[in-house]
């Protein structure tokens, strides 16, 4: 029998079910009487599922985020392993070309997928493992067609011992410019654990730095883990990694089915995948020979999980790099304040790319004061005129508006009634195709009112503009140019983004209208004008991070302009053209803004100069929600006194920014501490006590450590 070890899975009887568990600790004794102990029915694994470093990461995650270890470990594992499947790739089955197969073969001249499969298989003369087929973008269908045509076959062999040395690179790297080289020299010379902030303006060639750092890592037969914010939105980035190297790239994202996810996970754990690229949860992917971690767009909010285990993958990545004793590169044009704050005491080392790579020059910024100017589709006349000029010069223009749908509200022109969600404290958004009212907070939908429910007047008007309305107006203004809308409603099909990007890349003069989806990471060489329709929202946010977010968004969106030889222009419509944030950004840069804003945070003792945890609660009754939080607050006060914890402030409880959502009443209590350690000391005792609270089972509550969303 195999020896018991921490990290092995077992099947255990639980009531009248069998469940899968992980051995978390081994003890000779138990406080539970022997008669009550049950025997595990099966030992599933022969060796621990997770390498030691990852096991430690999970334990740390569980304690840092005050989340149960069981659930933490379970979040870290692919679904199939949670269900007790063996930790093996589909099988050690390989696909191989048969002699006489070549890409120009007449039998596949009209089958591009099969042609591509032949090209890929040709690079794997000893066979391509099943686990990698999906990762390399091939389909089973294509391979089976090749098999029927006598061009490929399946063989059964273990893939691990037969791969022949191949050149590492599939294409020649770009020649790094001076700043890129300086960054690379620093990163490559360092040994062990180092945190690098690669702060590079948009278009400065951060990706090229990642690629060359990865090359170095692969040369030492080590693996690189790359976290990116959203995979579906940036197929171009993935393509660049695949195109560069001859090593298998495992990609982990939400579009994978359970089997594909497990195969990719195993390819990473076995060391077969040289590069592992994934979104947030990929931080829990085991690596056989970790060498480098990269977090692209480190400021991005999508790294923070907003429910269940509320971890921040960027922060975990730094801790993981420490556990693995490897370098980590945090890349961004607009670093988060947390990261900037870590640069000052020298915990992180800053590398700067201040110039755009190649021949591209930075865009020029300009605020357009729209006070008392008429807006149509959210746009002022001067903006429309400017767009016309860019289009006529054969260029593309991008319009950013952070609201999808036709209009954010529907209003009665007679009495001022507005369409509201019945389940939330929010207005319904009017959508046009199909015509419906949507609540963007709870997802509920209903048909558009024909007359005002309050005064029966028929004159109901859409107020304000969303992407649909902007699109409609642009089509009217520029009937001769295509208008492409990119938001969550037009991008529902899997390939929609890819085909849209291909169209933009073709370079035809056109107008792009879109939300955040357009802001991130894309390379649009022919966009010369970027217009931000409404910058004012972020300037008045109730969240103290509002300005930081707004500045990041403006810089990221602006970064889509002028990425090639053609210079770019950025226009920001605002009612507050003399707002300090806008002045900092338009006349200086993000650093200037960040310096000023960080100083303000320091004065106010807000993060990153203090540490926060947010206790959220919701229930069907507002009174119950508040009672729970009031008592939680009292409990925390007692505990701070009895533990002798100082420098902790309790703010609230207060209603959440949207008090009622999906029919539930929500409120929150903020805990603010000068020291991370005191915060955790309090949280630890407080949460154990809260779990015993009589209301804890009637109110839905959660703790969010380092919340990003207030
Ligand atoms: P970032 O990620 O910093 O926004 P990218 O890595 O996307 O920038 O690079 C922007 C563009 O510059 C890309 O088209 C890239 O191919 C090009 N580029 C990057 N480095 C170089 C270089 N050293 N020489 C020439 N072009 C480069
Ligand atoms: Zn009315
Ligand atoms: Zn709603």
* Within-domain flag for 257: yes
Q: Using CA atoms, how far apart are residues 486 and 496, in angstroms rounded to an integer?
A: 9
pLDDT, position 319: 98
Quick check: 702 pLDDT over 60? yes
In a domain, 78, yes or no: no
Residue 290, domain CATH: 3.40.50.300
Q: What does DSSP say about strands 396-400 and 527-532: parallel, antiparallel, or unpaired?
A: parallel
- Asked if residue 44 belongs to a domain, the reply is no
pLDDT confidence bin for 164, thresholds 50/70/90: low
Indicate the residue among 575, 597, 619 that finishes a domain: 597
Ligand 1 close to Cβ of residue 356 (< 6 A): no
> Does the C-beta of 462 come closer than 6 Å to ligand 1?
no
Q: Which residue has the tokens 């900037």?
A: 340
Residue 456 counted as domain residue? no
pLDDT value at position 61? 97
Q: Specify the residue with its C-alpha closest to ligand 1, atom 6.
A: 205
72 lies in some domain: no
pLDDT at residue 238, rounded to an integer? 79
The arithmetic mean of pLDDT across residues 78-103, rounded, is 81
The tally of domains found in the chain comes to: 4
Instruction: Give the end of a domain, one of 545, 564, 597.
Output: 597
Q: Is the CB of 234 under 6 A from ligand 1?
A: no
Does 622 sit in the ligand 1 pocket, CB within 6 Å? no
Residue-level pLDDT at 91: 56
Give the Cα separation of 214 and 208 in Å (integer): 10
Q: Sheet harboring 9-14: ordered strands across?
A: 17-22, 9-14, 42-43
Lookup: tokens for 417? 């009634």
637, pLDDT greater than 60: yes
358 pocket-lining for ligand 1 (C-beta < 6 Å): yes
Contact partners, residue 38, CB within 8 Å, separation at least 6: 12, 13
Dist. CA 392 → ligand 3 center (Å): 43
Task: Note the ligand closest to the C-alpha atom of 211.
Answer: 1
For residue 415, how far is its CA from the centre of ligand 2 (angstroms)?
Answer: 4
Q: Give the number of other CB atoms < 10 A from CB of residue 400.
A: 27
263 and 388 part of one domain:
no
Whole-angstrom CA distances from 557 to 64, 333, 501, 521, 522 are 34, 11, 16, 9, 10
What angle do helix axes 235-244 and 496-505 make, rounded to 10 degrees? 80
Predicted confidence (pLDDT) per residue in 308-339, tens digit: 999 999 999 999 999 999 999 999 999 999 99
Mean pLDDT of all residues in 100-111: 87
Quick one: 520 and 652 in the same domain? no
Please tell me whether 217 is known to bind a ligand. Answer: no
* Pocket flag, ligand 1, residue 657 (CB < 6 Å): no
Is 633 assigned to a binding site?
Answer: no
Residues 305, 328 within the same domain: yes
Q: Tell me, what's the pLDDT at 90?
A: 59
Backbone angles phi, psi at 241, to 5 degrees: -70, -40
The residue nearest atom 15 of ligand 1, judged by CA position, is 205
Is 344 found in the same domain as 266?
yes
State the pLDDT at residue 501.
86
Whether residue 498 is found in the same domain as residue 583: yes
Here the contacts of 619-623 (C-beta below 8 Å, separation 24 or greater) are 619/664, 619/665, 619/698, 619/699, 619/700, 620/663, 620/664, 620/665, 621/665, 622/659, 622/665, 622/667
Cα–Cα distances in Å, from 84 out to 37, 309, 407, 465? 22, 22, 49, 50
More confident residue, 493 or 466: 466
341 and 370 assigned to the same domain: no
What separation in Å is there between the alpha carbon of 64 and the centre of ligand 1?
37
Strand partners, 431: 436
Report whether residue 523 contacts ligand 1, using a CB cutoff of 6 Å. Answer: yes
- The pair of three-digit structure tokens given for residue 622, joined into one six-digit string: 């507002």
The pLDDT value given to residue 93: 66
Omega before 13 cis (within 30°)? no
Q: Is the peptide bond before 434 cis (omega within 30 degrees of 0)?
A: yes
Q: Identify whether residues 394 and 509 lie together within a single domain.
A: yes
Beta bridge partners of 14: 17
**Global confidence as pTM:** 0.87
Least confident piece of the model among 157-171, 280-294, 534-548? 157-171
| Residue 301 within a domain | yes
User: Could you give the CA distance from residue 621 to residue 178 in angstroms, rounded to a whole number?
Assistant: 62
The answer to whether the annotation marks 412 as part of a ligand binding site is yes
**Residue 710 pLDDT > 90:** no
Per the model's pLDDT, the better-predicted residue between 89 and 214 turns out to be 214
Average pLDDT over residues 607-632: 95
pLDDT tens per residue, range 673-685: 999 999 999 999 9
Q: What is the mean pLDDT of the chain?
A: 90
Q: Quote the ipTM score.
A: 0.97
Compute how many other C-beta atoms are within 10 angstroms of the C-beta atom of residue 70: 12
Report which ligand 1 atom has the smallest distance to the Cα of 175: 23
Distance 442 CA to ligand 3 centre (A): 4
DSSP conformation class of 245: B
Residue 160 is given by DSSP the state: G
Residue 189 sits in the same domain as residue 250: yes
Residue appearing with tokens 């006489």? 100
Check whether residue 576 and residue 506 sit in a common domain.
yes
CA distance 570 to 554: 9
660 within a domain of the structure (yes/no): yes
Say whether 58 counts as a known binding-site residue: no
Measured distance CA(272)–CA(568) in Å, rounded: 43
Q: Which ligand is nearest to the CA of 297?
A: 1
Instruction: Specify whether 526 is located in the same domain as 392.
Output: yes
In a domain, 505, yes or no: yes
State residue 2's pLDDT score.
52
Q: Which of 178, 202, 204, 207 to mutate to test the pocket of ligand 1 (most atoms within 8 A of CB)?
A: 207
Per DSSP, 304 falls in state B
pLDDT digit string (tens) for 29-64?
A: 889 898 888 889 888 888 899 999 999 999 999 999
pLDDT in tens, 135-154: 777 887 888 889 888 898 87
* Alpha-carbon 699 to chain mean position: 30
Q: Are residues 235 and 317 in the same domain?
A: yes
**Does 415 carry a binding-site annotation?**
yes
**Domain enclosing residue 136, as ranges:** 92-157
Q: What's the pLDDT band for 234 if we cut at 50, 70, 90? A: low
Whose alpha carbon is nearest atom 21 of ligand 1? 357
Percent of the chain with pLDDT over 90: 66
In sequence order, the 6+-apart residues with CB closer than 8 A to the CB of 583 are none
Helix 235-244 with 206-219: angle, nearest 10 deg: 40
For residue 399, pLDDT over 80 is answered with yes
pLDDT of residue 159: 44
Give yes or no for a contact between 467 and 515, defined as CB atoms under 8 angstroms apart: yes
Q: How far is the CA of 464 from the centre of ligand 2 (A)?
A: 18
Looking at the structure, do residues 129 and 226 belong to the same domain, yes or no?
no
What is the structure's pLDDT at 527? 93
Query: For the chain, what percentages of helix, strand and coil (3-state, to nearest 5) are there?
Result: 35, 20, 40
Return the higher-pLDDT residue of 575 and 164: 575
Atom of ligand 1 nearest to the CA of 237: 7
- Report whether pLDDT(653) > 90: yes
Query: What is the rounded CA–CA span in Å between residue 75 and residue 307?
Result: 12
What pLDDT score does 1 carry? 45
Check pocket membership of 200 for ligand 1, CB cut-off 6 A.
Answer: yes
Nearest-CA residue for atom 23 of ligand 1: 176
> Is residue 533 pLDDT above 60, yes or no?
yes
């Amino acid at each position: 029998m195999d020896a018991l070890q921490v990290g092995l899975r077992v099947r255990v009887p639980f009531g009248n079910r069998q469940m899968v568990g992980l051995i978390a600790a081994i003890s000779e004794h138990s406080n539970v009487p022997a008669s009550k102990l049950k025997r595990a029915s099966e030992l599933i694994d022969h060796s621990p599922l997770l390498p030691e470093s990852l096991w430690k990461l999970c334990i740390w995650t569980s304690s840092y985020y005050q989340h149960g270890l069981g659930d933490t470990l379970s979040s870290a594992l692919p679904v199939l392993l949670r269900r007790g499947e063996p930790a093996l790739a589909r099988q050690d089955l390989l696909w191989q070309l048969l002699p006489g197969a070549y890409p120009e073969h007449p039998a596949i001249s009209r089958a591009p997928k099969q042609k591509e499969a032949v090209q890929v298989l040709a690079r794997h003369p000893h066979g391509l493992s099943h686990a990698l087929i999906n990762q390399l973008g091939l389909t089973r269908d294509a391979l089976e067609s090749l098999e029927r045509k006598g061009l490929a076959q399946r063989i059964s062999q273990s893939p691990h011992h037969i791969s022949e040395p191949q050149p590492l690179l599939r294409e020649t790297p770009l020649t790094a410019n001076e700043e890129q080289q300086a960054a690379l020299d620093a990163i490559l010379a360092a040994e062990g654990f180092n945190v690098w902030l690669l702060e590079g303006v948009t278009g400065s060639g951060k990706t090229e730095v990642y690629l060359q750092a990865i090359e170095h890592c692969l040369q030492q037969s080590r693996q690189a883990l790359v976290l990116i914010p959203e995979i579906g939105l940036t197929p171009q980035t993935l393509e660049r990694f695949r195109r560069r190297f001859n090593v298998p790239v495992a990609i982990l994202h939400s579009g994978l089915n359970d089997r594909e996810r497990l195969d990719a996970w195993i390819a990473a754990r076995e060391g077969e995948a040289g590069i592992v690229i994934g979104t947030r949860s990929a931080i829990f992917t085991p690596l056989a020979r970790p060498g480098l971690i990269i977090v692209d767009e480190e400021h991005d909010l999508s790294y923070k999980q907003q429910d269940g285990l509320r971890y921040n993958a960027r922060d975990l990545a730094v801790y993981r790099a420490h556990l693995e004793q490897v370098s980590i590169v945090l890349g961004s044009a607009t670093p988060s304040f947390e990261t900037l704050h870590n640069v000052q005491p020298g915990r992180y080392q800053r590398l700067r790319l201040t110039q755009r790579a190649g021949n591209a020059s930075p865009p020029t910024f300009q605020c357009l004061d729209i006070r008392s100017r008429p807006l149509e589709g959210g746009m002022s006349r001067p903006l429309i005129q400017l767009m016309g000029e860019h289009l006529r010069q054969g260029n593309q223009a991008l319009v950013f508006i952070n609201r999808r749908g036709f209009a954010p509200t529907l209003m009665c022109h007679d009495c001022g009634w507005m369409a509201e969600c019945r389940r939330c404290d929010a207005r319904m958004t009017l959508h046009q195709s199909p015509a419906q009212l949507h609540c963007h907070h709870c997802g509920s939908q209903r048909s558009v009112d024909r007359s005002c429910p309050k005064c029966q007047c028929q004159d109901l008007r859409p107020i304000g503009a969303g992407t649909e309305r902007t699109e409609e107006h642009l089509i009217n203004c520029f009937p001769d140019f295509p208008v492409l809308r990119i938001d969550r409603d037009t991008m529902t099909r899997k390939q929609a983004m890819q085909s849209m990007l291909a169209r933009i890349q073709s370079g035809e003069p056109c107008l792009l209208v879109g939300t955040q989806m357009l802001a991130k990471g894309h390379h649009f060489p022919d966009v010369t004008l970027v217009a931000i329709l409404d910058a004012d929202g972020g300037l008045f946010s109730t969240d103290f991070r509002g300005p930081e977010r707004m500045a990041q968004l403006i810089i990221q969106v602006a970064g889509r302009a002028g990425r090639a030889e053609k210079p770019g222009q950025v226009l920001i419509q605002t009612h507050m053209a003399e707002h300090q944030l806008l002045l900092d950004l338009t006349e200086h840069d993000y650093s200037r803004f960040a310096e000023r804003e960080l100083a303000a945070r320091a004065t106010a003792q807000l993060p990153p100069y203090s540490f926060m945890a947010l206790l959220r609660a919701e229930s069907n009754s507002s009174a119950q929600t508040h009672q729970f939080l009031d008592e939680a607050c009292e409990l925390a006060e007692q505990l701070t006194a009895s533990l002798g914890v100082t420098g902790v402030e309790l703010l609230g409880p207060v209603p959440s920014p949207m008090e009622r959502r999906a029919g539930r009443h929500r409120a929150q209590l903020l805990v603010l501490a000068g020291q991370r350690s005191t915060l955790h000391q309090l949280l630890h005792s407080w949460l154990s006590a809260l779990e015993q609270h009589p209301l804890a089972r009637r109110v839905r509550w959660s703790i969010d450590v380092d919340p990003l969303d207030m």
